[in-house]
Each structure stands twice: as structure tokens, then as C-alpha cells.
Structure 1
Amino acid sequence: MSDGSRAAALSAARRASAPYRTSPWPGKLHVTAHHASHDDPLLTFLGGARYLLAAADTKLLVGCGLFAGPETSWRRNFSPCPDEMRTADAVVLPSADLGHAGFLPQLAAEGWHGPVFATPGTAALLPVVLSDAAKQFAEDAGQACPPAPGVPPFRAEDVTRALALVRPVEFGSLHRLDGAEFEFGRAGGRLGAAWVRVRAGGRSVVFAGPLGAADHPLLRPPDARPRSDVLVLAAPHPPADGHLPGRFAAAVRRAARRDGSVVVPVSVDGGMESLRALAETGQLPPLPVVLDGDLGLEVYRQAAAELRRGARVPAPELRPEPPDGPSIVLAGLATADSGRVLQHLARLLPDRRNGVILLGHPAPGTRAAQLADGARHLKIHGRYVPVRAEVTALGGTGAFAGPAEVLAWATATPAPETAFVAEGEAEPAHALAKALHAEADWCAVVPEEGERVSC
């Protein structure tokens, strides 16, 4: 089958399995304080971490992520690619996280073949993240029960096609395209993560996803925000719990006393925080650590330019398969909505001896969020599984900046004409916009999905 025929067949399969086609964007137009002209770039918020910046001579898609959350949101990952995304001349990836890059294989599978620009760290981590996700999605599709989609969002061959489009661009290097130019600055928090400044049509826009904490134990802190006419921010993470290592160790010890095992849902690119929590406790019982998937540790070890001086990537003893007795299992995905972690949860949740440790703040509607909220059962592969295992939700790991840090980072540079808080949960997004208005007198807006603004 030719590539074109395969892409058409794959698109048709996804259309058949999707509950609905992505509806046309409403196209609402918002004009900033700047006196707009017909030559000003237009910015469209496509939902999640997806932004289309259209200038006179080029269109850039900044972010190309999957949706997380309730089943209705997750199924949008199976819908045909929105037309706006197909029109992009190039894709700029802020990070390798599935929320920023997870839709790229489907975009490539449906025939898009433009350049994809990423930092060297993101480019190195993408094969690990996307290949691991493709394996997990394929396993899920094989066990899916109607009306769940019977095809994965993307397959291994789609990942190969997408990776061939990736072009690494160094931090601080100005890259020119037809009618536009962009540069990456360090965002911290994840290996390779970047904020992106784009200049087009005489205007400049900075896209800043989740920022890393200034005192991240492994990675260098975010670079200072550059001046821009428009700033697009992500909602901050809640403040980290300084007692996380001790609470992690206590949860493991409780399960060990019950002769039980512990499962920790992790993401490929964020699994370093799980390993750091393990390494820093120094109080864990001598249980084997089982890694079900590839966390890309070697990629981190090679990323000397992004690591803090003296930082050491932890390397606990890992085993590829669970032993017969109690163990600590690290498996993805972190949302617990897909992947091999579902098999471990189905096996461990019904037994009161076992435990589940949740790191970070899961997106509302995900299985991880349901567990954190005290769910008594989970639906996994068409069957309800009782939740009898102890669930310990630890909250923030300290990898990402809290509200005060994000506010300080944003306001350390002269104000943009407009700031948009467009990524993350609604409550912290509105809180940040309110703080920017009240404390810095900024024009700060939480845009609607599908809204189009003049820059």
C-alpha cells in the first residue's frame, strides 16, 4: 500500500471509530490594545497546547499535543486532524511531552510533511516518548471494548514518519522561515523544554508552556522572558510539597508491611521525578524497582548542557519484569488513561495490601485524577475494577514553577500588550490572569478554545 493510500485508510478508520468529527472553530476575533492592521499576524487557540500563528507569508503551529482528560476529550485524539493544523507550513515543538508533541505522528500519518523544529534535548527525547506511547496505545487498542476506539491514535510507522521531519535548533539560535523567525529559550522542568519567541509581520509573540522550578535538582532554571507584544502562558502548577520524599517513603513502607506492591504512574519524559523521589528518600525498604517502559535515562545522562552543574541522574536498580514478591512498579502513562500502567492497576487495585502513589497534579477527568479524588472503582478495558489498594496522592514534585514563580518570571520583563493564559486547568489559569491584572496592571485574558486574536 502506498503512503497516500495508507494515510487515507488510516484517516477513514479513525473517522469510523471517532464519536464525532472535530467541529469547525468558531473564529471569534479579539483585537489587542495595539492598533491592528490587516498585516498583523493572527493567533488561533486550537485547544490544549496547540497554537496557530498565521502571518502574511507563513503559518506556524506551535505545539502539536494530544488531549488528556475525560473520555470525551481523549476521543478527540482519534478524530481527523483539524483543517487549521493541516495548513501549517512548519511545526515548532516546545517539549517532547505528549501534551505538546503527541499528535505529531497522526498529523504526519494524514499526509502533512513540513519541517518540525525542536531543541536538541526535545529531538533526542522524542523517539523515546513517541515510540513508547505507540507501543502502549497498540496494546490498549487490542483490549478495547466498544464504544472505545479499536485503533490507536498512532502506530510505530507513524512515529517513524514524524521523526524524519524533526530538525534540531539550538537554544538562543535565531531560525528564519518565509516571513517569520523564531528562537528557543530554556523553560526548565523537562529535558529540552523551551519557551518560543516568534517574530512575524513586525510583531512578536512568546509562547511559554509550563515553566520549571528555579531550584529544580537536575535541570537548569528557565531563561528570562524576552520582550514581546503578546505573551502566551500556561497555568502554573500548585506549590510543591517539601515533604514529598518522606511521604513517598512512608507510603512504600506501609505497603511493604502489608506484604504488598506499589505502582507509580509516570510519563516517559517526567519519570525523572519519580526516580529522584526514590533516590532522595534514603528510607525505602529494600524492594526491587520495576521499570515497565523506557524513561529515557540515557538521554538525560547525555544532556550535559541542560543539567545543573554537579547534577547526577539517579540510577536505581531496575528490573524489566515484576518479581513474585512485593515491588515498586514504575509504568506509563502518568494519566493512567492508557498504557501498561493499566495492566498493573487492574492487577493491584483489588488487593488491600497494595498501594498506588500519584506524583504531580493529574488533569481532571483522567483515571489518575479519579484515584486522587477517592474513586471506589475504575473502568479498565471494559471492566470495573474495585479500588481497595491504598492511594497516596503526593501532589507537586517540585519540578515546575508555582504561581509565585510564574508571576515573578512573567513580570520581570516589561509588560506585553496582552497576555493570554491558554494552557492548563481553568481555575489556576483564571487565578494567574487575575494576579497579572491586579498586581502588574496587565491586560490578561483566558481565551476560549477556537478563539482567534490579532497580534
Structure 2
Amino acid sequence: MIPDHRKTREDSPAAIEFLGGVGTVTGSKHLVSSARDRVLVDCGLFQGLASLRRRNWARLPVGIADLDAVLLTHAHLDHTGYLPVLVRAGWRGPVYATPDTARLAEIVLLDSAHLMEEEAAHANARGWSKHHPARPLYTRRDAAAAVACVATVDFDTPFAATDGVAAEFGSAGHILGSAWVRLDLAGGRTVVVSGDLGRTGHPLLNPPRPRPDCDALLLESTYGARVHDDADLDDRLARTITDTVGGGGSVLIPAFAVDRTEVVLAALSRLRRAEAIPDVPVLVDSPMALASLRVYQHAIAEHDPRLRPALWLGGDPFAPLRLYELHTVEESMEANRPRLPSVVISASGMATGGRVLHHLKHLLPDRRNTVVIVGFAAAGTRARQLADGAGEVKIHGRYVRVRARVDVLDGFSAHADADDLVTWATSGRPPRTAYLVHGEPDASASLAGRLRDEHGWSAVLPREGERVLV
């Protein structure tokens, strides 16, 4: 628990405290403080390893009375999912975000709460949880209260996050609405938090805006040790689908509901227009993904400047698929064993929860089927276990045999790779210090090494709970 410094704020120098997203790609929380103000950049949920997930249930990492504002870089749960806990504990805002982040965060948080309530009920009915009774981390009521705290700010528009902290969002190109954040603190210090950065070649979004100059840079490092393998990506996906369907099986794609589902649908549409894949049903089984798809379709119709112009110049990017939207539980249950060979896209992308777990239970034991991992999977998640070649995965208290083929196509990731990160970070004046966050240790260390060796930077891997001066 961080002590309340309000009585001594006038004597406090500008500082950063790393409360999450350090040594891991989940739970991003960075507390930036100046002489008078304390701003939390991102309020993410820990996912993956049980030791990380338990931290969501621990005491609040920041005192409610000691927090002046929250800024969200984008809507993914690892950056927003702890906000309902903070609000349930009594905090009432403000929370600042771009308009599309606000729209998507409402969808993400309400869906997350629904899934938590549903999973707790399932565990209590089937007895597979060690907690008696199992309970959700937060409810839909908590999520709605968190959403009500959000105030929107447009990109490239300086605003007062607090009386003593000026802020600005710049487009990060990761998902719709995603932003990096610049904070100008009392005393003249400047901090930039990258959030999650998008790829230069993102098929839907324009590249990130250049980094502004700063004294301290918090740089994500999800793919800090890797360069995306984009070679023949569409061809590889086409072969996987064609081979699987030809053998009478179905393809299951666990996909993040926000952005990844849209990217995958766009790829399938390209392949279908080129007649590179058979005309099979494409089932999207995620209410959150379908709601997010509507936000993307609206942005395309409105010619959102964060999107690539080709999206509205070339017709519907998600046509001509034989697309089926599965909304009800009954429809989802039917897709566990598709009547015809199909492509099933379902959340969550790291297979930590949601409807995709039921599809995995039914499809993994059959050698005819294929599971395609299309994005980053954190340590401890089922998607990571599958990518690493696990022979069994535990779902709802029972182990499921993995006989299906598993393909990893990380070229569909919306994250900047190591080259993208270095290019973006070094586009401006070097900061006094760069802090590598939101990455597993090897990835963060690799990126820090490149910044030191190739550019002469001071690049640091902060420790959990560490406080540094700006």
C-alpha cells in the first residue's frame, strides 16, 4: 500500500512508481507524481500465471485518497481491467481516455464482468473451483460504475489531467483509440508512456505518431526480442484452413475481441476474394468482438483519420465472407461441434476465459481440427501452453488432451516488434532514462540492450513497486 503523501506533496519531487506491467505483459499500472499531483497511467488486470492473477485480489496498490486522475492508453483488459476494483473501493474519477477507447472500454469491462459472474456461477454449479463459494473479482454493476467515471479527450489536444499535470494523447496505432501519453509535470519534467504501440504495417490502422521529447520514457517491450515473421503470412493461413477443411476438420482461432478479430476477418476476406480458401462458414462467437466490430465499422464509415484510407476506398474490408454472428449461448454451444467444417473465431485471445474455452474442450481432442494462435500469449495462459506444445491443458477443472494441430502465426499481432519499437523510441531526442515495461524479462532485457548498445541510451528494467525520480 502506498502511503498518503498529500501532507508533504509540496516537498515531493517528480517520480514514477511501477505498480504493474513490470516483468510481465499484464497488469499495467504506472503512478506518475509531481509536487502536488498523482496520476495513474493505465489500470490493468493481471492475467496468466496464478501468482499474477492473485494480485488482482490483493490490497489496492495505490491509496484512494492519494490519487487524482487515471489516464487510459487503450481499452484492452491488461490496461483497463482493474478499474472496476478501484471504483468499487470508493474512487470516483476522473478517468481520461480517447473517445474510441471510452467506447471500447465500456464493451470490454462490461463483458469482462459478465464472464467473471458467469464463470463463478459455473464453478459453483460444477464444483471445480477451490474457492467456496467462488465469486467474481467484480460485477457488471462495478464495471458500469467504472465506465461512468470516464471522460473523453481527443487526440492531439492538450488538457489538464490535474491542476499540476498537463497531458496529451497521441495516436499509438495499436487498436482503435489507442494512444501514447505525454505528461508535463510541475517543475518542468516530462514523462511519455508509450502504452502499447502498433505495427508499422498494421492492416487497419495508420502507424503511431512520432514520440515527443521527454525526460523519462516508459516503453512497452512485448516483442522486444522478436521481429514479426510476415513472410507468406496469408499463404500460411490459407494452407492451414485449406488442409484442415479438406480433412473434415474445423479451425479455431482464439482472438482478442478488440482489433485482432477485425484483423483476422480482414485477412480471411482477402483470402476468400482471391479464392485462396474454400467458402466455409466463418463463425464469430464473442459478443464483445461483435460489439467491437460495430465500433470499427462505424469508424470506417466516418473515415476515422487513425484508419488507413484504403479501408473506405476499397469497399467493405470484411466481405465477402459467409459470416455468422453467434450471440446466444445456444448458438455458441452448437459451434462446439460445427455441422460443417468451419472457421471459428472466439475470445479470449490468450484463452484465459470466455466462450473459446468450451470450443477448445470439444475441438482439441480431434486430430482433424486446428487451433491457430494469432497473437502474443502471456506466460501461464492456455494459448501460451498450446503454442509451446502442451499435450494437455486444464479447462474448468479437467485436463483436455491436445490432439488437434496447433499453428502459431504471430504475424497477425497488433504489437510493434523490436525493430518498430526501436524506430519509434529513437525518433526524438534521447530521454534521460528509458524504462522497459510491459514485457517478459527476456524481451525487456533484449530491447534495453539494443537501446544501450546501438544508441547509447540509459535503458533500465524497473522492479515491481520501484520508485524512481524523473
TM-score w.r.t. the length of structure 2 is 0.86
Which of 172, 178, 197 is residue 163 of structure 2 equivalent to?
178
Partner residue in 2 for 1:272: 262
For residues 38 and 254 of structure 1, the distance between their equivalents in structure 2, rounded to whole angstroms, comes to 66
Are the equivalent residues in 2 in contact too, given 1:241–1:398 (CA < 8 A)?
Answer: no
- Map Cα deviations across residues 50-92 of structure 1 (whole Å, 9 max, x no partner): 1011222211000101112212212322334323466321110
Partner residue in 2 for 1:431: 446
Partner residue in 2 for 1:287: 280
For residues 203 and 98 of structure 1, the distance between their equivalents in structure 2, rounded to whole angstroms, comes to 29
Partner residue in 1 for 2:88: 109
Aligned residue type for 1:41: A
Q: Please, which moves more after superposition, 311-320 or 267-276?
A: 311-320
Partner residue in 1 for 2:130: 147
For residues 51 and 158 of structure 2, the distance between their equivalents in structure 1, rounded to whole angstroms, comes to 39
DSSP 3-state at the match of 2:377 = coil
Aligned residue type for 1:254: D
Partner residue in 2 for 1:257: 246
- Map Cα deviations across residues 386-428 of structure 1 (whole Å, 9 max, x no partner): 1111111112315332211211111121111111001111111
The within-5 A match list for 1:177-326 is 177-201=162-186, 202-237=188-223, 238-242=226-230, 243-269=232-258, 270-282=260-272, 283-293=276-286, 294-295=288-289, 296-303=292-299, 304-312=304-312, 313-315=317-319, 316=321, 317-320=323-326, 321=331, 322=335, 323-326=338-341
DSSP 3-state at the match of 1:396 = helix
Which of 403, 408, 411 is residue 388 of structure 1 equivalent to?
403
For residues 305 and 87 of structure 1, the distance between their equivalents in structure 2, rounded to whole angstroms, comes to 37
DSSP 3-state at the match of 1:137 = helix
Following TM superposition, by how much is the alpha carbon of 1:186 offset from its aligned partner in structure 2, in angstroms? 0.6
Aligned residue type for 1:214: T
For residues 217 and 83 of structure 1, the distance between their equivalents in structure 2, rounded to whole angstroms, comes to 38
1:86 to 1:291, Cα distance in 2 relative to 1, 3 A: farther
Are the equivalent residues in 2 in contact too, given 1:217–1:311 (CA < 8 A)?
Answer: no
Following TM superposition, by how much is the alpha carbon of 1:39 offset from its aligned partner in structure 2, in angstroms? 4.3
Are the equivalent residues in 2 in contact too, given 1:376–1:386 (CA < 8 A)?
Answer: yes
Following TM superposition, by how much is the alpha carbon of 1:374 offset from its aligned partner in structure 2, in angstroms? 0.6
**How many corresponding residue pairs?**
422
Partner residue in 1 for 2:145: 161
Following TM superposition, by how much is the alpha carbon of 1:236 offset from its aligned partner in structure 2, in angstroms? 4.5
Following TM superposition, by how much is the alpha carbon of 1:314 offset from its aligned partner in structure 2, in angstroms? 2.1
Aligned residue type for 2:270: E
Q: Does 1:358 align with 2:373?
A: yes
For residues 134 and 305 of structure 1, the distance between their equivalents in structure 2, rounded to whole angstroms, comes to 32
For residues 305 and 118 of structure 2, the distance between their equivalents in structure 1, rounded to whole angstroms, comes to 36
Q: Please, which moves more after superposition, 323-332 or 355-364?
A: 323-332
- Map Cα deviations across residues 293-344 of structure 1 (whole Å, 9 max, x no partner): 1321111122223211122542542231324222211111111011111111
For residues 20 and 106 of structure 2, the distance between their equivalents in structure 1, rounded to whole angstroms, comes to 24
Aligned residue type for 1:278: L
Instruction: For structure 1, list consecutive stretches of 5 or more residues without a partner in the other structure.
Output: 1-23, 27-36
Aligned residue type for 2:94: P
Which of 55, 58, 69 is residue 90 of structure 1 equivalent to?
69
For residues 371 and 65 of structure 2, the distance between their equivalents in structure 1, rounded to whole angstroms, comes to 40
Are the equivalent residues in 1 in contact too, given 2:367–2:404 (CA < 8 A)?
Answer: yes
1:63 to 1:42, Cα distance in 2 relative to 1, 3 A: same
Q: Does 1:327 align with 2:310?
A: no
Instruction: For structure 2, list consecutive stretches of 5 or more residues without a partner in the other structure.
Output: 4-9, 22-27
- Map Cα deviations across residues 176-235 of structure 1 (whole Å, 9 max, x no partner): 121111000011021111000001122110000221112222111111100111111000
Which of 2, 7, 13 is residue 40 of structure 1 equivalent to?
13
Are the equivalent residues in 2 in contact too, given 1:66–1:99 (CA < 8 A)?
Answer: yes
The within-5 A match list for 1:17-56 is 24=1, 38-48=11-21, 49-56=28-35
Calculate the aligned-residue CA RMSD, in Å.
1.9
Partner residue in 1 for 2:464: 449
1:205 to 1:99, Cα distance in 2 relative to 1, 3 A: same
The within-5 A match list for 1:361-380 is 361-380=376-395
For residues 352 and 25 of structure 1, the distance between their equivalents in structure 2, rounded to whole angstroms, comes to 52
Following TM superposition, by how much is the alpha carbon of 1:99 offset from its aligned partner in structure 2, in angstroms? 0.9
Partner residue in 2 for 1:60: 39
- Map Cα deviations across residues 427-452 of structure 1 (whole Å, 9 max, x no partner): 11111111111111111101011100
Q: Please, which moves more after superposition, 143-152 or 253-262?
A: 143-152
1:308 to 1:426, Cα distance in 2 relative to 1, 3 A: same
TM-score w.r.t. the length of structure 1 is 0.88
Aligned residue type for 2:172: A
Are the equivalent residues in 2 in contact too, given 1:244–1:277 (CA < 8 A)?
Answer: no
Are the equivalent residues in 2 in contact too, given 1:195–1:208 (CA < 8 A)?
Answer: yes
Partner residue in 1 for 2:25: none
